[in-house]
Amino acid sequence: MEKSTKVKFNQIRIPALARVEGHGNITVEVLKGKVKDVKLNIPEGPRLFESLVIGKTPEEATSIVPRICAICSVSHRYAAIRAFERALNYKETKATHQLRTLMHYGEMIESHALHAFALALPDFVGYPSAIAMVDKFAPQILKALKLKKFGNLVMEVTNARWTHGENATVGGFGLAPTHKQLFDIKWQAQELIADAEEMVELLRNLSYPTSMEDGIVFMCLKPPTDQYGFVGDRVLISTGEEHPIEKYKELSNERVVEHSTSKRCRYNDRPYVVGALARMNLLGERLRGRAGECFKRCYSLSWIRNPLYGNLAQAIEILYSLEHIPQLIDSILKKIKTLETDAKIQKQPTGTGKNVGAVEAPRGTLYHYYEVNRGIVTGANLVIPTTQNFDSMETHIRVAAQNLLANIENKPLAALTAQERKDIELIFEMIVRSYDPCISCSVHMVEVK
Amino acid sequence: MNKPKVGFYNLSGCSGCLLTILNCENQLLDVFNGAEVVSFLMAQSNNVEKELDIAFIDGSVTTDEQEEFLHELRPRTKKVVCLGSCSCYGGVQAMENEKGTWLKRFNKVYGKKPFKVVKPFESKPVDAFIPVDYYLPGCPIDADQFLYNYARLLRGLPADVPKTPVCLECKWHENECLLLKDKLCLGPVTSAGCKAKCPSHNLPCIGCFGPADESNLTSEFSLLKEKGYTFPEIERKLRLFGGVKFIKQFKSLWKKAQK
């Protein structure tokens, strides 16, 4: 549905990126065999979210921000809750924290299963969609759908709906899940571990194109314990640095570019990457159990240069989440009576304060910052994973374009055969898809006061 | 018999309604096999734009490019169906509409530099530009309601969406009424279809399915007023998902109450 602008003779253009969330297109300009310009254009319509939360209560803001993006709605809600609770001095009880962790695992499983198996995998096996793959890969696709369905079930039980559930609130939960619901999840998680491991193997045995390989700087949140995890108040960088999340502005350095309604980020003037691949590179050594074994089996030095391994990293995170659910549920069940639900929730947040809260969304580190004055939001700033990844996507497209054109002796674009052009375009699309971009999310996140 | 040709499109929104379709894991193959899905950018890459029997639209209209697309789509499509509160009412991004603050808010977010990629404007529902045949509201839509209506539409039957408010579904769940607990619940004026998810979790309805056809705004209003809620508080809640649809009626009620 994007305008079909005529492709210039010295351009490779992908007018509408398919199998991603939102709208984007790619233009690569080549001059005398050299890649002159790479643009990942984002024409996504603006919705001005940051201005919508101003003048609302924290409770209303917590309902508004998940609508930024359906695929990471739980992460947005969780990041907002963490920011408001840090700003207004709430104490998170252990049971509440664990139920939130379970909810977060649900989103990781659902979002990763959708992306790694239904959106990214078809490229590797030469199909236009996961549905079309059913011809030849029916058992695998059914397993992928089972995993995805399970992730949705976890979100429904903990947060009341698959998407945009309202049960998790500032202070706790509206209603605690029943023992039966939790037992059911525990049982299903145990059943699915074997399927998840099989999907890891499927992705491990694919052949990964290498034309886009280039050194990457990674960032992710540092879990408070020495285990793997998806929340934290400190940021790890692959350069060996560590910073508190309060420094999120210095870490992301958002800037406006002309060809996109989304901002761009750099750290120390270099693109950086967040998401499952970043977490695996920075925290993978911490994995235990089958996920740990899979990590050892799959990991190689290509993982620090090749974004396509993000898909495999996601599959291992599905396995990690499934393996942790049974013990997490046992622990929740022991304390379920202490869970902060409706009646016990500390009343409506009416205080004053400001702070940042961060979680790892499936596609990377998500920061929410709010200022609250007597129970009304007066300032907001959100930094989104996909915004942080855009510069790296352009870098890897540039490297791939240069290498792929060199492979065919840098012949002028006009002389490319249809097949050669198609092959190059596919690699560009695979690069962008491997970051699991969530383009609705990435658009228009800037500070408003 | 030829399968009906359908397309799924996404304008400005969170893609949650299209995601809800992809979340129907058990029925997904039937959704794709029951019709010829010629365009679904989020799910497949072999999309073709041609004559359609049914177009499903997720998201609201916020750019000139999307407006042009709707005018191009309508003449080649037999039935246009709005999926979700964004395409039906303008969505959460329309909550501040008609206050005359859009340009100010836009400049605050993006700065005054003109946009190169698209020309943006205040979020509007699809029917502000083209005639719409059916509306399936919700933020996001309910999967069962979608599947039921998808099956009807593929058979050439009209959509069947409840006209009743959330209260009815809430009563079916035998929940204790949150209004009686003095909570600002929009259940009495909000369209049913969500299975009363929020009230069933002790949480007041936030109105994400938009205005119900058979609702009694007058009595909801006087009830809330009795409970001590102020005009700005009630208006803010009504605007969250209903955009400006409620507001005119609401303002006249408020004027009457002041006299």
**B159 belongs to a structural domain:** no
| pLDDT class of A449 with cuts at 50, 70, 90 | very low
Average pLDDT for chain B: 91
For B127-139, how does the pLDDT look when each residue is reduced to its tens digit (9 = 90+)?
999 999 999 999 9
Question: Which CATH architecture does the domain made up of A49-387+438-442 adopt?
Answer: Orthogonal Bundle (1.10)
pLDDT at A257: 78
pLDDT at A49: 85
Whose CA is closest to A395, among A306, A300, A314? A306
Give the mutation candidate from B93, B116, B139, B236 for the A interface (greatest A CB count, under 10 A): B93
pLDDT at site B106: 80
Nearest CA in chain A to B97: A52
pLDDT at A260 over 90: no
Residues B117, B197 within the same domain:
no
Report the pLDDT value the prediction gives residue B180, as an integer from 0 to 100.
92
Structure confidence at residue A443 (pLDDT)? 67
pLDDT at position A76 over 80: yes
Please report the pLDDT score of residue B197 as a whole number: 95
User: In the sheet where A34-41 sits, what is the strand order?
Assistant: A11-14, A25-31, A34-41
Sign of CA dihedral A86, A90, A95, A99: negative
Which of B10, B14, B195, B240 is the best substitution to test chain A (most A C-beta atoms within 10 A)?
B14
Q: Is residue B82 part of a domain?
A: yes
Q: Indicate the pTM of the whole model.
A: 0.94
Query: Does residue B76 share a domain with residue B27?
Result: yes
Per domain, the residue ranges of chain A are 11-45+392-434, 49-387+438-442
For A42, which residue in chain B has the nearest alpha carbon? B117
Tell me the C-alpha distance between A382 and A47, whole Å: 14
Contact at CB, A70 and B92, closer than 8 angstroms: no
Average pLDDT over residues A270-274: 96
Do B88 and B31 fall into the same domain?
A: yes
Name beta bridge partners: B36.
B5
Are B52 and B124 contained in the same domain?
Answer: yes
CB pairs under 8 A between A and B: 202
The region, left, alpha or beta by phi > 0 then psi within -120 to 50, assigned to residue A243 is beta
Distance CA A330, CA A141 (A): 31
Pair (B140, B99) in one structural domain: yes
Question: Does residue B131 share a domain with residue B31?
Answer: yes
- Can you tell me the mean pLDDT for A269-287? 97
Per-residue pLDDT tens over the stretch A383-438:
999 999 999 999 999 999 999 999 888 888 888 899 999 999 999 999 999 999 98
Q: Is the pLDDT of residue A336 over 90?
A: no
Residue B112: predicted pLDDT: 66
Name the least confident of A256-265, A327-336, A412-421, B226-235: A256-265
More confident residue, B116 or A56: A56
Residue A445 pLDDT: 47
Query: At A51, is the pLDDT very low, low, confident or very high (cuts 50, 70, 90)?
Result: confident
Among all residues of chain A, which has the CA nearest to that of B84? A67
Number of domains in chain B: 2
Rounded Cα distance between B255 and B259, Å, is 7
Q: How far is B72 from chain A (nearest CA, A)?
A: 10
Query: Which is it for strands B36-40 and A242-244: parallel, antiparallel or unpaired?
Result: unpaired
Cβ contacts (< 8 Å) between B115 and chain A: which residues?
261
Residues B197 and B142 in one domain: no
Q: Where are the alpha helices (DSSP H) in chain B?
A: 16-22, 28-33, 64-73, 84-89, 102-110, 143-154, 166-172, 217-226, 231-242, 247-258
Q: pLDDT grade, residue A4 (50/70/90)?
A: very low
- pLDDT of A5 > 60? The answer is no
Percent of residues, chain B, with pLDDT higher than 70: 96
Q: Are B210 and B245 in contact (CB under 8 A)?
A: yes
Same domain for B182 and B141: no
Report strand pairing: A234-237 vs A242-244: antiparallel
DSSP element (H, E) containing A159? helix A130-159
Render the burial of B41-55: b for 16+ CB within 10 Å, e for the rest.
bbbbbebeeeebbbb
Indicate if the pLDDT at residue B115 is higher than 70: no
- Tell me the mean pLDDT in the region B104-122: 76
- The partner residue sitting opposite A46, judged by closest CB among B16, B26, B120, is B120
A174-210: pLDDT as tens digits: 888 999 999 999 999 999 999 999 999 999 999 999 9
Q: Please report the pLDDT score of residue A342 as a whole number.
A: 57
> End of a domain among B154, B189, B219?
B154
Query: Distance between terminal CA atoms of chain A?
Result: 35
> Within this chain, do residues B192 and B226 fall inside the same structural domain, yes or no?
yes
- Of B122, B154, B186, the last residue of a domain is B154
B136 versus A339: the higher-pLDDT residue is B136
Query: Mean pLDDT, to the nearest integer, of B100-110?
Result: 81
Task: Give the domain CATH number at B126.
Answer: 3.40.50.700
pLDDT at res. A414:
85
Q: How confident is the model at residue B113 (pLDDT cuts 50, 70, 90)?
A: low
Question: What is the domain range of residue B248?
Answer: 166-258
Mean pLDDT along residues B178-187: 92
C-alpha gyration radius of chain A:
22
Lowest mean pLDDT among A193-202, A286-295, B217-226, B246-255: B246-255
Same domain, B189 and B222: yes
Report pLDDT digits (tens) over A290-333: 999 999 999 999 999 999 999 999 999 999 999 999 999 999 99
Q: Which pLDDT band holds residue B118 (cuts at 50, 70, 90)? A: confident
Q: What is the pLDDT of residue A347?
A: 62
Q: Do B106 and A22 touch (CB under 8 A)?
A: no
Task: Indicate whether B183 and B216 sit together in one domain.
Answer: yes
**Residue A434 and residue A310: Cα distance in Å, rounded?**
6
E strands along A3-138, which residues?
Answer: 11-14, 25-31, 34-41
Interface contact A444-B202, CB threshold 8 A: no
Residue A365 CA to its chain's centroid (Å): 8
User: Strands A364-373, A376-383: parallel, antiparallel or unpaired by DSSP?
Assistant: antiparallel
Q: Are residues B120 and B172 in the same domain?
A: no
| CA-based nearest residue in chain B for residue A110 | B23
Between A281 and B253, whose confidence is greater?
A: A281
Q: Which residues from A are below 8 Å from B45, CB to CB? A: 18-19, 122, 128-129, 429
**Residue at which a domain ends, from B154, B180, B204:** B154
Q: Does B211 reside within a domain? A: yes
> What does the pLDDT read at residue A6?
60
**A286: confidence class by pLDDT, cuts 50, 70, 90:** very high
To the nearest whole percent, how much of chain A has pLDDT over 90?
Answer: 74
Mean pLDDT of chain A: 91
